Structure 1
């Protein structure tokens, strides 16, 4: 029996455990930077196993589990995030969230449960492979500055040769694995804009400096950042997502606050997008006689899947197509963002998409939706796919 067959046999024997863990995590979600109980569950899982566990890595509850094989070889990182979202769950499942207003609406419960199970199987077979596997159980993917950057900066991953991760998407059919070579997910920046005018009576606008009108102008003008300042062959998105301007019928507001996000698939557009917004804000100050404060934060970088490693992953998985999964597709880049990008800046690797469309559903709810749901059969697909990759990369040696 080959090592891959042994790994798959162990994973199949742990299938019910994997589902049970996922459902427990789904019932007990915790928000970013507050994942104390989730972290304890992960730590307890490895407590009596022959591994090195480092807790509280980075700026929160990050956990690195180091598995050493029988001899020297590559060091491979495998990452799964474990934070939830501030969403009230509406999915009709028997293991619905018990924490009011908190939900695993992005599949991080899936990520954690399959990596725990894969990690356990790799530990049980550690005398049959060489090298080191570092399991990266990451906190706070959903909330900037995220957990990945601080974990990388801690130095605990300085010896990585390669790094891999998976994200589940119900918009892809269960049994489908998606790969993207190169720029795969957008970099992002977030902004808050405060416009300070001079309020007054709605009947005498000439005595005011109307911050609300200035804000409305900003919303319109911000769209020209993409249409007139960016290369039309590039992918850039500017979205104003909030406009806080409460008031009565006869009151012109003294101050308004807007916020939003900027996404870009080419990292070189990060600074020009900010420069363009700064120019617009300066023009609004002059045009409307208001004072503007722009708080603009550069956030997660573009997720860049290294071409060589991505192609090699496809070669590995292609050998198993038609067994535990149906097809490999070349997915389109996404304007969503991911702090897995920081790991890919540290070491070559790729971020894999796994389809998890619920059975019998034509139009599934997307990630971050209150009715987000998955097909739990994709747990095994995730574990086997990443297991195949890591065994291949370890087996090749340095």
Structure 2
């Protein structure tokens, strides 16, 4: 590490107890997507306590945008954290468990916010001794489409921004490890509902009915051929049916059937193809059984596609900070993220910082009622985002 990296690491280590305190406060008081009123107000109070003067509130709903300006010319570098929780009961036996029934931070957004607050305090402590502007985005509503990123963009969060970086603390990756991938990284996530209408009747007289269970079963089978027979084996796609609802009695043929499913893709062309083939099969298969099928297809977040140059820059920064052996190229991730919308507007990179640690009880997957993470990963996250920002700023000044 160079002198600046060592100074940043020392300052963040000094701030670490407050990072833990902040994270545990947020963990005790979670709020779900689009309802983060008290969370947003608390973040605003913390920023005022730190001494941040340029804070915009109510950005894209409950979002906040903080500009920390250096005394020297340079780029505008955005760093983002999300703040919302999930509608899930916290089953952990810890002193900081959620105090809100049926709501908990089960994905690490409390730790993301705490890391970004520490980054705010670090840059504020430099008293302008850096180049350009560090713009910190505290974003609401990542967990629920249409998400919070687009409203923040519409409210000007990216105006003048040259590059953006974000981190997700990720328990499937061991703490102390950084995982990055250039190009397509996380999937575009779509959902659909299919309503099949036929004619119900007596289970012993099927000839007088149009059986929607038979039609639905055939449609499920047909849909499973879309990936294997329409998508190139060189591409990646997932189509899963998660719900099949029809009928209530053993001797009554159902006149209605409802299917629900999800589609995951990493390429716009594949995404469009999946939607087209699903639509065609709904129409044709249902008609073949004398029923009618209606498709409600909802496009969610697009794929997260990291800028190749920025991904390489972040890999280099991570290697300098944590060593080559602790940095790896990520596999494709079929979860979605609305950070994708920022990357459609400006170059940038979204990264995973390992937060799994069996000794710290961080063994459960994200969105699990016993989810927890290794809190030391917040230090790694803050160091990485600062390292990426300063590596970009140094290159920018040379250009």
TM above 0.5, yes or no, is yes
Between 1:164-173 and 1:368-377, the stretch displaced more is: 368-377
Query: What CA distance in whole angstroms lies between the structure 1 residues aligned with 2:309 and 2:367?
Result: 31
- Cα distance in 2 for residues equivalent to 1:99 and 1:393: 41
TM norm structure 2? 0.94
Aligned to 2:55: 53
Query: In structure 2, what is the Cα distance between the partners aligned to 1:281 and 1:392?
Result: 51
State the Cα RMSD in Å: 1.9
Residue deviations 1:183-216, cap 9 Å, x none?
Answer: 1111121111111222222222222222222222
Q: Is the 8 A contact 1:130 1:397 kept in 2?
A: no
Shift, 1:363, TM fit: 9.0
Distance 1:2 1:394 in 2: 16
> Are 1:7 and 1:122, in contact at CA under 8 Å, matched by a contact in 2?
no
Deviation of 1:362 (Å)? 9.8
Moved more, 150-159 or 61-70: 150-159
Q: What secondary structure sits across from 1:91 in the alignment? A: coil
- 1:390 alignment partner in structure 2: 389
Q: Partner of 1:147 in structure 2?
A: 148
Aligned residue in 2 for 1:202: 203
> 1:27, CA displacement in angstroms?
1.4
- In the TM superposition, residue 253 of structure 1 has moved relative to its aligned partner by 2.1
Report if aligned partners of 1:67, 1:126 keep a CA contact under 8 Å in 2: no
Partner Cα distance (2:361, 2:130) in 1: 42
Give yes or no for contact 1:169–1:356 (8 Å, CA) kept in 2: yes
1:240 matched to 2:273? The reply is no
CA distance in 1, matches of 2:289, 2:163: 53
The unaligned stretches of length 5 or more in structure 1 are none
Deviation at 1:35, TM superposition (A): 1.1
Q: Please identify, of 281-290 and 133-142, the stretch whose mean Cα deviation from structure 2 is larger.
A: 281-290
Corresponding residue number in structure 1 for 2:12: 11
Shift of 1:346: 1.0
Q: How does 1:316-327 map to 2 (within 5 A)?
A: 316-322=317-323, 327=326
TM-score by structure 1 length? 0.94
Any residues of structure 2 matched to 1:169-188 within 5 Å, and which? 169-188=170-189
Which stretches of structure 1, 4 residues or longer, exceed 4 Å deviation after superposition? none
Q: CA deviation at 1:41?
A: 0.9
- Aligned twin of 2:168: 167
Contact 2:198–2:255 (CA under 8 A) maintained in structure 1? yes
1:251-307 CA distances to partner (integer Å, 9 max, x unpaired)? 222222211110012222111100100110011231122222111112211111111
Query: What's the offset of the Cα at 1:223?
Result: 0.6
DSSP 3-state at the match of 1:263: strand
The count of corresponding residues between Structure 1 and Structure 2 is 395
Moved more, 227-236 or 242-251: 242-251
Write the distance in 1 (CA, Å) between the matches of 2:111 and 2:128: 28
8 Å CA contact retained: 2:310, 2:347:
yes
